[in-house]
Structure 1
Amino acid sequence: MADRPGSIDETLALLKRTGYIPDRSLATVLFLALRLGRPLFLEGEAGVGKTEIAKVLSTALGRRLIRLQCYEGLDVAAAVYEWNYAGQMMAIRLAEATGAVDRDTLEGDLFAERYLVKRPLLQALEADTAGAPVLLIDELDRTDEAFEAFLLEVLSDFQVTIPELGTIRAEHPPIVLITSNRTREIHDALKRRCLYHWVDYPDAQRELAILSSRVPGAPERLSREIVAFVQAIRKEDLFKAPGVAETLDWASALVELDAVALDPALVSDTLGVLLKYQDDIQKMQGSRAKAVLDEVHGRMRVAE
């Protein structure tokens, strides 16, 4: 188990060792979140690497990663706990069959911890010999305001209340990262409990470093062309610009096709890896893709 980093530079190095190429502003806020014991709220477009930050932090620190994937209708039973009703019913039937039915004793037994099904938020409050786990609350914007309100107790005091058992508190608070794609605004009351960072698309130099790290089999020229092309089409009027995840997927696909350089036909044939909406694909296919690629090649020739 690695110790928490003692400086911003150590945080940068820690993430880079696990294959994540951060900018200094992200390393700074992550260092502060670890030092101050505050949750870190990460917003940004889908595919820019928000979820990956929690994964690499878990790996780098040697901590267990507990992920709560949010969705519409998420409730306490799915996020925190529920009772093992089947097990409780079997206990009741067994008690009835043996004639050992004392209502007070049976009720106490039925709501013992062995019948408690622990979901991610409750698991994150448990003690762990490897150290406090990394709790990822992913895509919080998919839930509703009622669930946000419930989270306030967890993020304020790192505790949850189970009526049958009482209040359960974390001996060592988990390292909490919350992500949002900003499909709706998250309430200020929750944001105030967190440090905040907007995860933006990387610049060309950092995206090239990410690609080289994650897809080492890609030829150097192809990698530079991929990054330059993706950076260019992010400036187009698209419904959903490609994120870093799509850049890596496209690079992997082109390596599988034994590509060594981009050409208009290859770009048009593989746009479905890079873009995920038909309107965007239609907009970029053919002459538009060729025009962007020509601009990319022109800038690369000048740079050379």
Structure 2
Amino acid sequence: MRVLTPEDMASALDRVGYLADEGLSTAAYLAVRMGRPLFCEGEPGTGKTALASALASALDVELVRLQCYEGIDATQALYEWDFPRQLLELRAGSSVESLYSRRFLLARPLLRALESPCVLLIDEIDRADDEFEAFLLEILSENAVTVPELGEIRAAVPPLVVLTSNRTREVHDALKRRCLYHWLDHPSLDRELAILRKRLPEVGERLAIQVVNAVRRLREMELLKPPGVAETIDWAAALTALRRESVDVATAALTLGAVLKYREDVDRVVAAGLDALLAG
């Protein structure tokens, strides 16, 4: 689809269930229009990963995801040779030269993203190390890679790249300079209500308001993992599954596992008083 304005981008994302504010829809529009990677930073649960998925749906292209982690290297991200199949082919009498053809190459996310139009999600880049960042910078700059046995593979249509970071460490400036940058914060009360209504239209108005207000109070507490929008939706879904039109202290105690993921956080919230959490 053609995205001619930031408003078009907001509408396209809205149609696939992602409610972006003006700043985010503008950043996404510029990433598409300028052909630049979009670097999204923010607390866990603010919709960074979901944005990439929504962009792929809105633009009607494949989503290719590269999940970063400590120790990830170029082989795991780019390609490797299918050695078991090569060995079988060799035993069948094939020449060594024929073993290094495209049919024996196992494409990992970065190579897959160069071979067809897609949204490439590089998730949690802050978990990778400096060497991988440098390698990634070269790939993003050239939109091409050289496989020694096959030659250069260049993207006919460069992927739309979305990088995410939870800011567990600072990503190098060289990579950030290559990208457009956007900080994602937790949504306003009205926007979070709108997201909840869009995702779970069956949730009653009273319950929706109560859940969103309670989650916002949880985010103000000193928790190991403050809840994100996904937890808001999960909690509302759990309460709806229990056929609750509102949440009381007893029901909140039974369902805190939908919104809090650490025992220490549950204990802290219970000690502070669930009545205070649900007040108003």
Q: Given the two structures, how large is their TM-score scaled by the length of structure 1?
A: 0.89
For the residue of structure 2 that corresponds to 1:125, the secondary structure is helix
Partner of 2:15: 17
- Give 1:76 shift: 2.0
Report the CA distance shift for 1:272/1:167 in structure 2 as closer, same or farther (over 3 A). same
Q: 2:55 is aligned with what amino acid?
A: L
**Any conservation in 2 of the 1:268–1:286 contact (CA below 8 Å)?**
no
Q: Distance in 1 between matches of 2:137 and 2:197?
A: 40
Trace 1:258-297 onto structure 2 (pairs within 5 A).
258-285=243-270, 288-294=273-279, 297=280
For the residue of structure 1 that corresponds to 2:45, the secondary structure is coil
**Any conservation in 1 of the 2:42–2:166 contact (CA below 8 Å)?**
yes
Query: Does residue 178 of structure 2 align to residue 187 of structure 1?
Result: no
Q: Distance in 1 between matches of 2:134 and 2:271?
A: 49
Give unmatched runs, 5+ long, in structure 2: none
Q: Distance in 2 between matches of 1:117 and 1:285?
A: 50
Q: Distance in 2 between matches of 1:168 and 1:124?
A: 11
Of 134-143 and 220-229, the range deviating more from structure 2: 134-143
**Any conservation in 2 of the 1:214–1:248 contact (CA below 8 Å)?**
yes
Partner of 2:88: 90
From 109, 116, 122, the equivalent of 1:120 is 109
Q: Distance in 2 between matches of 1:135 and 1:146?
A: 20
Partner of 2:35: 37
Q: Distance in 2 between matches of 1:56 and 1:125?
A: 20
Write out per-residue CA displacement over residues 76-113 of structure 1, whole angstroms, 9 at most, x where no aligned residue. Answer: 22211000111111122122xxxx7xxxxx23211111
Partner of 1:103: none
From 196, 199, 211, the equivalent of 2:184 is 199
Query: Does residue 151 of structure 2 align to residue 162 of structure 1?
Result: no
Q: Distance in 2 between matches of 1:20 and 1:35?
A: 20
Q: 2:171 is aligned with what amino acid?
A: I
Q: 1:73 is aligned with what amino acid?
A: G
Q: Distance in 1 between matches of 2:247 and 2:89?
A: 66
Trace 1:32-181 onto structure 2 (pairs within 5 A).
32-95=30-93, 106-126=95-115, 128=116, 132-181=117-166
**Any conservation in 2 of the 1:154–1:160 contact (CA below 8 Å)?**
yes
- Give 1:263 shift: 1.2
Q: 2:164 is aligned with what amino acid?
A: T
Write out per-residue CA displacement over residues 189-243 of structure 1, whole angstroms, 9 at most, x where no aligned residue. Answer: 1111110111110010000000000111111100011111111221112121100
- Give 1:292 shift: 2.6
Of 153-162 and 20-29, the range deviating more from structure 2: 153-162
Give unmatched runs, 5+ long, in structure 1: 101-105, 298-304
For the residue of structure 1 that corresponds to 2:152, the secondary structure is strand
**Any conservation in 1 of the 2:121–2:162 contact (CA below 8 Å)?**
yes
- Give 1:288 shift: 2.0
For the residue of structure 2 that corresponds to 1:285, the secondary structure is helix
Q: 1:31 is aligned with what amino acid?
A: Y
Partner of 1:214: 199
Trace 1:224-243 onto structure 2 (pairs within 5 A).
224-243=209-228
- Give 1:62 shift: 0.7
Which structure has the greater CA radius of gyration?
Answer: 1
Q: 1:289 is aligned with what amino acid?
A: L
Q: Distance in 2 between matches of 1:63 and 1:287?
A: 47
Q: Distance in 1 between matches of 2:144 and 2:185?
A: 32
